[in-house]
Structure 1
Amino acid sequence: MTGPRIALMGFMLETNGFAPVATEEEFREKLWMEGEELLADIRGEGSRDPGGLCGFAASMDGAGPWTPVPLVITSASASGPADQDFFERYVARIRRELEAAMPLDGVYIEAHGAASATGDFDPDGTLFAAVREVVGPDVKVIATLDLHANVGPRMVEATDMLIAFLTNPHVDMYERGVEAAAAMRELLAGTRTKKAFVKLPILPPSVSLLTARGPYADAIRRGQESVGGPIMNVSICGNFSLADSPKNGISVTVTARGDQQAADRVARELAAGIWADRERFQANLTPIAEAVAMMKAACADPSLPALLFADVADNPGGGARGNTTDLLAAFLEAGIGNVAFAIHYDRPLAAEAHRLGKGARFTAHLNSEESDPGSKPLEVQAQVMALSDGTFVGRRGMMAGRTVSYGPTARLRLAGRIDIVVVSVRQQCADPMTFEHLGIDLKTVRGIAVKSRGHFRAGFDDLFPDARTIEIDGPGLVTPMLARVPFRNVPRPLWPLDPDMTWEVPEKVAV
């Protein structure tokens, strides 16, 4: 094959600074592909890739000859910091494979951008810098990022271009890969980039970072209105607040076609606008007691619409355990029925259900081996309604067309009236197939509860639009109520933790 030689690689972790360490086993369990397996997957159906590599490869394939050089891609579910030894071995492997692959024309990195490791608050920057050190200054390096990335200067300095998602819920991963491929072709044709970077001391709650409406949506819109002419890309990353990292804070990264002044101007204007709008970044959640009253009313009156309750603080997609029982226990105590919950992460319980078999009745002990104090145990009578290997292809939103695997999975009916999806792999519920592949008809239930912060919206909005969606103020490792969080490592002063602070956009923003 002819054309430019482009190395393909990826490292994805969203670190919650209060969650358990992400081990090598967790990375390999969630996603680990290398070499020809990686290339076949991203060019096939039902890819395990989040989408960036799929879009990049498809666009490169359609634009002319090129030679893909697939290295390694890995991802873990949002968790605590990556094990340092594992991360260092991963970087060492990337170094060796890049050296062996030289000469290269470009490198595409699919990253999340909000990782920490047990000995490194900036592993994304460490990885990007290692890539640059091996390939040298002339090879084009482009990375795509989740819009929750905690972007730092090293990430910007080591790459020719950073491209962040534009949607939350995230449904544009493929499109950002396509954009990265177009940018790669343009850079290989001779365009040289100039970059500007501003870090704002704002720590927004995660629920305030939706892109359909609100302050973040307005910032994204203004950024995209700036794209064109000399401006190649504007990436505004809302950060992942629970990372508890020195890199926390909203970031603005602007990439221009050789025009540093244009990049600086746009970055400074956008940053000033976001700072002026900071009071709009607020979390407004519903207490569990109010949620119980709302659900009881919906059950009592069939003319009322069915409801979706988002247990946002226990979202596995942000590093939470995905098995707090407070909302479930409150519904059970209130006598509520015809409601379905997904997910509940509990490997021992899923294994017991599979051992007993479909139809079995037993006393379910939820969280029997869970060590996190927020994941309270719960004992309730249960019946096994359905079993699966937890693997399906998503059909809507973020997971549409992608293979999802929860490991051994069980649908249990608790107390004869509430169904719960028990899984063995800790992932959020973002797709209706999580329920449907076990026979739960979402059109007939009076309510559902999902362990997710926001990605559920793109998966369930046909049945549960925003007006019927309630975000719960419950316990969990990713609570949006940031005043309750014992931060240790975030930079200070930081709004809203320091509400009276002042800040001005720095004069020097060029990178």
Structure 2
Amino acid sequence: TNVARTFTKPFHIGIAGLSCECSTFSPLLSGERDFLVSTGDQLGANYAFFADYSDITVTPLIRARAIPGGSIEPDFYDRFKAQLLEGLAAHAPWDGIYLDMHGAANVHGRDDVEGDMLAAIRKVVGPDCVISASYDLHGNVSQRVVDSIDMLTAYRTAPHLDYYETQQRAFALLMRALHEGVKPHMAFRPVPVLVPGERSSTEWEPAASLYAAIQPTIDQFAIWDTSILIGYVWADEPRAMGCTIAIGLDAEQTNAAAHALAQQFWAVREGFQFGVTSGTVDECIHLAMQETATPVVISDSGDNPTAGGVGDIPYVLSRLLVAGVESALVAAITDGAAVAACEAAGVGATAALTIGGKQDPIHGQPLPVEATVVSLHELSWPANPRAGVAVTTNHVAVVQVQGVTVVLTERRTPFHHIQTFTQLDLEPHVYQIVVVKMGYLVPEINQLAKRALLALSPGAVNQDIEHLPYHRLRRPMYPMDRTATWS
């Protein structure tokens, strides 16, 4: 039955969200200090497209966002959820709810946090309210998520260039349901494939063609929308896997669309490989030292803070020093204590430092070095806040260790923009080797690189997924189980 109740205008719509990609292999937990919680107008300011609709009243409730990290502290999640449910009850009744999600959160010791959150929302708002969610394509979807909401649409690009368009699309789907007075059917097809983003960028095959099939599928089956989710590989829980989702009024056509995309997804599974040359850390350093076109950018992929890594493993730095590299830049290693030691020593001083390996002692060891303090800085953090983000200070030290310039940061800091380097008086173009704690290179850093290499380095988001210590993943799962069959 597609018929929903007849709504009266203006439609009353609530906004909420939870966004944190959580590696269950990280020894750290994400809590209050990691999350940027926005409410009210601060939250509403993120969605300029609300202005496109004259027949809505929007009540922004609460959204919590964090850069990827470890599992969420249960107390933090429980407080967030209670505040959200109180807001929903206080401002009822609702015609629609838009949820700005990521989809790969994990609460320590619990499963399927999004399923828990969305089921709780549904219980408060009732069966008639239309709920639409936008997801990252690295989200893990469960049956409980699908059963709790009416629509889910995901990013179509990785690196993610379309997050705003995806939010807009999720909201447009919600408004379509309200305007037409219907509830569409949502088909969900889990696919037992789980690969990292570094093997499934939409910039190269097979993901490029797989994602290019989305619009033709919508047209062919005459449905509203369809999504392909790659899933999040560093989550040891039963829901972790890829999936396809389709939304439409005709259940048969909607099911057929989700099924067709799922079959295409499964058919290309063996094609999900790294889009750039990959190798051990030493192999990548050796290749980079031979290269005449510079800089060569090496991804320290296992300790990538934008995927859930801790960001403090100094292993690549240690190997650069062993190799005697004469011109390298490492950005960055998170180590507040080392930054404080540099501040105490002062610019120009030589300091005995112990770099990194403090927060993630499972995957890295502290590295003792003699370093010259080149410069000290205070940056705002996060570097490019969106509306509703509480900005704090990030103390940074740039040091020289033999031939290597090392950026030490107080907080986990992604180096996604050249501007982040230039703020520290660094010119990344002049180095033979630039090491970034990243997976696939984001566009600006990719432009910097004359050659890109992906180092299979240790960390909480180790790319050697076939050997991760999974205990709770559903099996068989490709590529952990090479001979897996599925239909």
Q: Is the aligned partner of 1:37 residue 2:28?
A: no
Q: What is residue 237 of structure 2 aligned with on the other side?
A: 245
Q: What residue identity is the alignment partner of 1:502?
A: T
Distance change (3 Å), C-alpha of 1:272 and 1:226: same
Q: For residue 492 of structure 1, report the CA deviation from its aligned partner.
A: 1.1
Q: For residue 76 of structure 1, report the CA deviation from its aligned partner.
A: 2.6
Structure 2 unaligned runs (5+)?
Answer: 1-8
Q: What is residue 425 of structure 2 aligned with on the other side?
A: 439
The Cα offsets for residues 255-311 of structure 1, whole Å up to 9 and x where unpaired, read as 11x11111111111111111121111235621222222223224xx4xx23211001
Q: What residue identity is the alignment partner of 1:437?
A: Q
- Partner of 2:228, secondary structure, is strand
Q: 2:359 aligns with which of 370, 378, 386?
A: 370
Q: What residue identity is the alignment partner of 2:337?
A: P
Q: What residue identity is the alignment partner of 1:5?
A: H
Q: For residue 403 of structure 1, report the CA deviation from its aligned partner.
A: 7.8
Distance change (3 Å), C-alpha of 1:81 and 1:413: closer
Q: What is residue 428 of structure 1 aligned with on the other side?
A: 414
Q: 1:286 aligns with which of 275, 279, 285?
A: 279
8 Å Cα contact 1:59-1:182 kept in structure 2: no
1:106-505 matches, cutoff 5 A? 106-190=96-180, 191-228=182-219, 230-256=222-248, 258-283=249-274, 285-298=278-291, 301=292, 304-367=293-356, 369-391=358-380, 407-454=393-440, 456-464=441-449, 468-504=451-487
Inter-partner Cα distance in structure 2 for 1:406 and 1:226: 45
Q: What residue identity is the alignment partner of 2:300?
A: D
8 Å Cα contact 2:358-2:365 kept in structure 1: no
The Cα offsets for residues 33-52 of structure 1, whole Å up to 9 and x where unpaired, read as 1223333xx3xxxxxxxxxx
Distance change (3 Å), C-alpha of 1:236 and 1:492: same
Q: 1:93 aligns with which of 80, 83, 90?
A: 83
Deviates more, 1:64-73 or 1:483-492: 64-73
Distance change (3 Å), C-alpha of 1:181 and 1:483: closer
- Partner of 1:243, secondary structure, is coil
Distance change (3 Å), C-alpha of 1:389 and 1:197: same
The Cα offsets for residues 418-476 of structure 1, whole Å up to 9 and x where unpaired, read as 2222122224332223322101112322221110112x3223122226xx110002111
Q: What residue identity is the alignment partner of 1:167?
A: T
Q: For residue 201 of structure 1, report the CA deviation from its aligned partner.
A: 1.0
Inter-partner Cα distance in structure 2 for 1:119 and 1:429: 32
Q: What is residue 6 of structure 2 aligned with on the other side?
A: none
The Cα offsets for residues 296-338 of structure 1, whole Å up to 9 and x where unpaired, read as 224xx4xx23211001111112222212222111112222133
8 Å Cα contact 1:367-1:378 kept in structure 2: yes
Q: For residue 368 of structure 1, report the CA deviation from its aligned partner.
A: 6.7
**TM-score normalised to the size of structure 1?**
0.87
- Partner of 1:419, secondary structure, is strand
Q: What is residue 12 of structure 2 aligned with on the other side?
A: 5
Q: What residue identity is the alignment partner of 1:419?
A: T
Inter-partner Cα distance in structure 1 for 2:431 and 2:386: 23
Q: What residue identity is the alignment partner of 1:421?
A: V
Inter-partner Cα distance in structure 1 for 2:354 and 2:241: 40
8 Å Cα contact 2:298-2:435 kept in structure 1: yes
Q: What residue identity is the alignment partner of 1:240?
A: Y
Q: What is residue 24 of structure 1 aligned with on the other side?
A: 31
Distance change (3 Å), C-alpha of 1:389 and 1:499: same
8 Å Cα contact 1:21-1:83 kept in structure 2: no
8 Å Cα contact 1:406-1:425 kept in structure 2: no
Distance change (3 Å), C-alpha of 1:446 and 1:99: same
Length, aligned pairs only: 475
Distance change (3 Å), C-alpha of 1:8 and 1:142: same
Q: What residue identity is the alignment partner of 1:446?
A: Q
The Cα offsets for residues 108-152 of structure 1, whole Å up to 9 and x where unpaired, read as 111110112123211101111111111112212111111100111
Inter-partner Cα distance in structure 2 for 1:337 and 1:322: 23
Q: What residue identity is the alignment partner of 1:246?
A: P
8 Å Cα contact 1:362-1:381 kept in structure 2: yes
Structure 1 unaligned runs (5+)?
Answer: 43-53, 505-511
Distance change (3 Å), C-alpha of 1:96 and 1:286: same
Q: What is residue 103 of structure 1 aligned with on the other side?
A: 93
- Partner of 1:318, secondary structure, is coil
Q: What residue identity is the alignment partner of 2:40?
A: G
Q: What is residue 509 of structure 1 aligned with on the other side?
A: none
Inter-partner Cα distance in structure 2 for 1:495 and 1:156: 23
Inter-partner Cα distance in structure 2 for 1:421 and 1:291: 20
- Partner of 1:74, secondary structure, is strand
- Partner of 1:86, secondary structure, is helix
The Cα offsets for residues 225-282 of structure 1, whole Å up to 9 and x where unpaired, read as 21247322211110111101100111101111x1111111111111111112111123
8 Å Cα contact 2:246-2:254 kept in structure 1: yes
The Cα offsets for residues 45-84 of structure 1, whole Å up to 9 and x where unpaired, read as xxxxxxxxx3xx2112133253221211112332232222
Inter-partner Cα distance in structure 2 for 1:393 and 1:366: 22
**TM-score normalised to the size of structure 2?**
0.91
Inter-partner Cα distance in structure 1 for 2:457 and 2:393: 26
